[in-house]
């Protein structure tokens, strides 16, 4: 089940960060996101376990994905896609007009996921990442609003 991150999820999200990224967010940084009105983090819980999460920050009307990760044991089951779709739905409802993210140029799994969701490459930042040094691709999706008829 996908739900907004709360205090009870923070430790598990921090552990997944360490597992999945070479420059993980700290537990404290993740916890501080709960206090930020412009942050939206969602988690997928399976059998009481945090199987994946996605974090975003918004500067209306634009939003950025901070990170998305799925626990290795739960990959290729549609969780990453479901988390991104839930984020897109919620940010659209909040009036955001675009969603932008950076991804390592070699991260084929994530790039395939983002392209399947309609993200397009809008730029490239040379040597953006360290450990190992690598370019970032900048991807963006324009978000749609259900405009009222009248």
Ligand X SMILES: CC(C)(COP(=O)(O)OP(=O)(O)OC[C@H]1O[C@@H](n2cnc3c(N)ncnc32)[C@H](O)[C@@H]1OP(=O)(O)O)[C@@H](O)C(=O)NCCC(=O)NCCS
Q: Which residues are annotated as catalytic?
A: 102, 114
The residue among 84, 133, 73, 77 whose CA lies nearest residue 111 is: 84
Minimal CB distance residue for ligand X: 80
The residue among 35, 106, 22, 31 whose CA lies nearest residue 69 is: 22
Rg (the chain; Cα; Å): 15
Answer yes or no whether residue 75 interacts with ligand X by CB under 6 A. Answer: yes
Give the list of residues 6+ apart from residue 150 with CB closer than 8 angstroms, or none: none
Answer yes or no whether residue 20 interacts with ligand X by CB under 6 A. Answer: yes
Answer yes or no whether residue 107 interacts with ligand X by CB under 6 A. Answer: yes
- Choose, by CB under 6 A, the member of 12, 43, 50, 69 that binds ligand X: 69
CB atoms within 10 A of CB 130: 9
Return the range that interacts with ligand X (CB under 6 A); candidates 3-11, 111-119, 127-135, 142-150: 111-119
- Residue 27 in 3-state DSSP? helix
* Least distance between ligand X and beta carbon 86 (Å): 12
Please report, as ranges, the residues that interact with ligand X according to CB under 6 A: 20, 68-70, 75-81, 103, 107-110, 112-113, 116
């Amino acid at each position: 089940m996908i739900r907004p991150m709360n205090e009870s999820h923070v430790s598990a999200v921090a552990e997944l960060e360490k597992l999945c990224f070479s420059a993980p967010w700290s537990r404290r940084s993740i916890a501080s996101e709960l206090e930020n009105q412009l942050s939206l983090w969602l988690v997928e819980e399976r059998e009481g376990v945090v199987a994946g999460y996605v974090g975003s920050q918004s500067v209306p009307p634009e939003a950025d994905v901070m990170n998305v990760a799925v626990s290795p044991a739960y990959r290729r089951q549609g969780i990453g896609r479901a988390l991104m779709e839930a984020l897109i739905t919620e940010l659209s409802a909040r009036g955001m007009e675009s969603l932008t993210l950076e991804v390592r140029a070699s991260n084929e799994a994530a790039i395939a996921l983002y392209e399947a969701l309609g993200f397009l490459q809008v730029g490239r930042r040379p040597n953006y990442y360290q450990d190992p040094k690598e370019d970032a691709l900048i991807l963006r999706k324009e978000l749609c609003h259900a405009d009222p008829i009248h």
